[in-house]
Homo-oligomer: A and B are copies of this chain.
Amino acid sequence: MTDPCALPPTPYYAVIFANRRAGPDDGYGAMAEKMATFAAEQDGFLGIDSARDADGFGITVSYWRDEAAIRAWKENAAHQVAQKLGHTRWYARFTLRVARVERQYDGPATAD
């Protein structure tokens, strides 16, 4: 079973992507898996957490060393194709936030 990904040392960056899927799968699941694999190979990638509920609302948070790593991934050619399909076909609505992680803890029982 999936656990939340491990906490890297602060500071680092989080990309918070919240979205509502539009209509049928239409290649989405396969592309999402491929993008998660590609992202994990990028320089500066630190981890990813993702959940989607039964009615199509999802949140994916990816973690990155710095803004440069985020921008490089945004400009990745395969990712650009996926982004375009996301805009035109897969997402009825999304928000994307880039945030600097300043403090954190985990549990049960441990903290930093």
Take A2-B57, A50-B59, A61-B18 as given contacts and tell me if A7 and B95 are in contact as well, using a CB distance cutoff of 8 Å: yes
Which secondary structure characterizes the binding site on chain A?
strand
Chain B, Cβ-Cβ closest to A93: B3
How far is the CB of A98 from the nearest CB of chain B, in Å? 5
Number of copies: 2
Contact B101–A97 (Cβ < 8 Å): yes
Q: How many A residues face the partner with a CB closer than 8 A? A: 46
A41 nearest CB across to chain B (Å): 22
Known contacts A16-B61, A51-B53, A53-B53; A98 and B88 CB within 8 A of each other? no
Our pick among B1, B52, B91, B97 for the contact of A108 (Cβ within 8 Å) is B91
